[in-house]
Amino acid sequence: MKIALRVLLGYFLIVALAALLLGNVFVQQVKPGVRQAMEDTLADTANVLAELATDDLLAGRIADGRFAARVRAMARRDLDARIWGEAKRHASYRIEVTDAHGIVVFDSAGKEVGRDSSRWNDVHRTLRGQYGARSTRDDPDDETSTVMYVAAPIFAADGKIAGVLTVSKPNRSIQPFIERSQNTILRWGWVLLGSALLVGVLAAWWLSRQLAALRRYADAVARGERASLPDAAGEFADLGRALESMRRQLEGKRYVERYVHALTHELKSPLAAIRGAAELLEGPLPEADRARFVASIDAQSRRMAGMVDRMLELAALEHRQRIDAPEPVAPDALAQEALDDALPRALAHRVELQLHADIGLPPLHGDPFLLRQLLGNLIDNAIDFSPPGGAVELRIGRVGDQLRIEVTDRGPGVPAFALERAFERFYSLPRPNGGARSSGLGLNFVAEIAKLHGGDVSLGNRDGGGAVATVMLPLA
């Protein structure tokens, strides 16, 4: 399982558990909270009505006095109220009055007059000077039929309890408000959970994206490809910089080891030739041989100097991960400059240079100096393999969104065994007519420049004889 998915699942599990616990707490507290508020209101109401009923109870007219008339009138009143979205037309209070023995002497519903209520907790406790309240089902089989009863004492002139007034209210009358509150809590709970999930998904996506970018960078480095450090934030940026620093140190160490080994290997041959010629020059030699050995020493020293210079250029190029400040480069002008630079060498080899460029080519974006070196190396290589009187052709055209560059000659072509190795470092073929081998770095240099510009290069043979080097570069 990917780390982003594990983080998302862990985060969502924590959020879900927290939401579940908080939701249960809120939902479980809604109903008791509302009923506590209702009980508090009933207690106040019972005590107010107890004071209002005192005179009629003590005078013996509680069943038909002014108090009873007003209570019955209250039952007929049309409230026409809308409370928090719920319609209310009639009062849901029921009022009972008992005497000092707990016998009901007044009932606003007219059903329980004469009943002994002294056994009920509200009346029983109130007659003993305590706070009395209870909640009882009207229907034992229906849990939603509970009614809350709250009682208040009616005092005689001597301070004794002369009776009890009980106010009752069905709990189902407040059920819509309980359900409304619970639904609101649940609805916002789901919104919170959904928002948390969205935040978790975004966080996991961001985390996965950061890690994937660093993984791709590490994979590219492991494959030896050019790779730029991805944009990252926070600890991921620190990790990326640490990886980049480690890459540079490891590559630098391997690079030095590889180049020292390669350079010493390639320098053995010219050094051996120079040493041999120097040993021969120590003895008596005909003037012609002496001049030939001196020329050999000079040629081999130049070869070594050229090899060192080219390796320094290649080392600088291979360490570049990107072109820092690419410039627009006109392909036709670039090609003409490369041919102008190669013209003296072509004249010395009696080789004709030809340019074939499409009209209206869009510009490249890259390093003009490196692109000129790319063309120059390909043209020089073609000149070396061209027979006297031959022609080197430079063709430039557009293929889709890429620029196609071809450098062709009419030389012996490239042997099949060398086609795949032509761009290896230090690999070279003997020149026609016994010419000395090159350093074997030119085509490798070309491949590195093409790769740095996001393109590639290939080598093949053309119909009718000769070789063709093809470079594909992305257009701006």
Q: Which CATH number does the domain housing residue 271 bear?
A: 1.10.287.130
pLDDT at 152: 95
Confidence at residue 95, expressed as pLDDT on a 0 to 100 scale: 92
What token pair was written down for 107? 């009932």
The domain that holds 366 is classified in CATH as 3.30.565.10
Last residue of a domain, which of 160, 178, 196?
178
Report residues of the chain scoring pLDDT below 70: 1-8, 22-23, 25-31, 84-86, 174, 221-270, 272-273, 299-300, 303-304, 306-325, 425-428, 430-441, 476
Report the DSSP beta bridge partners of residue 355: 394
For the beta carbon of residue 95, count every other beta carbon within 10 angstroms.
23
238 belongs to a structural domain: no
Tokens of 61: 């007219």
Say if pTM beats, i.e. exceeds, 0.75: no
**Model pLDDT, residue 323:** 66
Residues 274 and 338 in one domain: no
Question: Do residues 106 and 68 touch, judged by C-beta distance below 8 A?
Answer: yes
- pLDDT of 425 reads 66
> pLDDT value at position 127?
93
- Where a domain ends, among 318, 347, 371? 318
Tokens of 153: 């004492």
Total domains in the chain come to 3
User: Strand locations in 258-390, DSSP E?
Assistant: 327-329, 352-357, 364-366
Q: In the structure encoding, which two tokens stand for residue 334, read together? A: 């670039």
Which of 144, 178, 212 is a domain's end point? Answer: 178
Evaluate whether residue 470 is within a structural domain.
Answer: yes
Alpha helices in 133-174 (DSSP H): none
Residue 138 DSSP label: S
Is 355 found in the same domain as 307?
no
- Per the domain annotation, does 386 fall within a domain? yes
Pair (283, 399) in one structural domain = no
Residues 397 and 427 reside in one and the same domain? yes
Q: Do residue 425 and residue 337 come from a single domain?
A: yes
Name the residue range of residue 169's domain: 38-178
Identity (one letter) of the amino acid at 146? T
**Same domain, yes or no: 310 and 382:** no
- Asked if residue 331 and residue 280 are part of one domain, the reply reads no
Distance, in Å, from the CA atom of 383 to the CA atom of 394, rounded to the nearest integer, reads 12
Tell whether 314 and 428 lie within a shared domain: no
Do 149 and 260 lie in one domain? The reply is no
298 and 358 belong to one structural domain? no
pLDDT on residue 368:
81
Same domain as 173, residue 44: yes
